[in-house]
Structure 1
Amino acid sequence: MTLSNLPIYGEGDATLQAVGGLTGLQNLVETFYRIMKNTPEFRPLFDMHPSDIELTIDKLVSFLSGWMGGEKLFSKKYGPISLPQAHAHLIVTEKEKDMWLNCMAAALDELGYSEELKAYLLPQLAFPAERIRQVSAAKHGESV
């Protein structure tokens, strides 16, 4: 690819294609949860999830598919979603938000994604992560 026809992340499904389409996204999410489960610093996040991690994996893949410009699988499978409300029962502070983003960075690193993709994707993921943290703080109090 020349510089003039490089994908522009965030346009169409360029981000989804950059992670390898649905197959690559599935691999990324499975890697993300494996790292979360097996890395002591991320394990508290894993323990916040339901025991049926396969459903959790499918929900994240389905959400990210649409979020990355692909097919809106989440709404087709599970109906409408509000990420902050879906996580409102959890206590999410800056610590948990940062753990989530750092775990995703570790999964992207392990799978060898480009620095350009990581530089785009992680700040984009920080927006919904911050919104989840804000809703948690409003529900559970800022001090948690």
Structure 2
Amino acid sequence: MDTNKTPYELLGGEEVLRRIVKRFYQIMDTMPEAKGVRDMHPGNLQGSEEKLFMFLSGWLGGPSLFIEKYGHPRMRARHLPFKIGKSERDQWMLCMVQAFEDENVQEPLRSELLHSLLRLADHMRNQEEA
């Protein structure tokens, strides 16, 4: 893997990231196994899709679109109003894994990014598990 490029560049930049995020929300909107996490979102997913794209752009080393528009992401604080446990984390990741697969993200980038996204998703958990 080219270590001189950012993950954003290795992924394919804006075009590929937009496709992944669009596919992610299509999966979330239609997969029964993702109903719990889908129910946390508004009926129209367009705003959520744009915010996730903007956040991931900067998170992956591309343009810091989210920060430019909204300030520091404070992701955990922004997600505190939602009950997020292991199930919600896993549902979110199920959609992301499928989006990566559908967009044919190749190894080793695929595994590296999905592991990082799992750590991020796990950090959003705010519910104690029994």
- Displacement of 1:127: 1.7
Identity %: 33
- The alignment status of 1:125 with 2:102, answered yes or no, reads no
Find the aligned partners of 2:46 and 2:72 in 1 and give their Cα distance. Answer: 20
Unpaired runs of 5+ residues, structure 2, are none
Spell out the pairing of 1:4-83 with structure 2 (5 A cutoff): 6-8=1-3, 14-83=6-75
Q: Which residue of 2 aligns with 1:3?
A: none
- The alignment status of 1:109 with 2:69, answered yes or no, reads no
Q: CA RMSD in A?
A: 1.6
Counterpart code for 2:51: K
Which of the two has higher C-alpha Rg?
A: 1
Unpaired runs of 5+ residues, structure 1, are 1-5
- The list of structure 1 runs, each at least 4 consecutive aligned residues, that deviate by more than 4 angstroms after superposition, is none
Find the aligned partners of 2:59 and 2:46 in 1 and give their Cα distance. Answer: 20
Counterpart code for 1:131: H
Indicate the structure whose relative CO is greater, using CA pairs within 8 Å and at least 6 residues apart: 2
Find the aligned partners of 2:8 and 2:129 in 1 and give their Cα distance. Answer: 37
| 3-state SS of 2:33 partner | coil
| 3-state SS of 2:42 partner | coil
Conservation of the 8 A alpha-carbon contact between 2:84 and 2:124: yes
Find the aligned partners of 1:124 and 1:106 in 2 and give their Cα distance. Answer: 16
| 3-state SS of 2:62 partner | coil
Give the TM-score taking structure 1 as reference length. 0.83
- Count of matched residue positions in the alignment of Structure 1 and Structure 2: 130
Give the TM-score taking structure 2 as reference length. 0.91
